[in-house]
Amino acid sequence: MFQKIAKFFSEIKIEMRKVTWPTRDELKESTKLVIIATFVVTVFIGAIDQILTLIIKHLLGA
């Protein structure tokens, strides 16, 4: 059992050497893009929610 565990961690170490990590600048740009996209989607969903709320209130006469 311990041999299997040792082999598992050995294989993890080998695979981690193959990973290409992003540079600091690439990471900053990706982070900015995710934050902007999140903001845009949030505003869009909020606007749709407000519009649907107004439509439902109008239909129900509330």
Instruction: Express each pLDDT in 2-56 by its tens digit.
Output: 899 999 999 999 999 999 999 999 999 999 999 999 999 999 999 999 999 999 9
Residue 40 lies in a domain: yes
Residue 39 lies in a domain: yes
- CA 30, 38, 40, 35 dihedral sign is negative
Range of the domain at 60: 22-62
Residue 43 lies in a domain: yes
- Alpha-carbon distance of 45 to 59, in angstroms, equals 21
Residue 53 lies in a domain: yes
Global confidence as pTM: 0.65
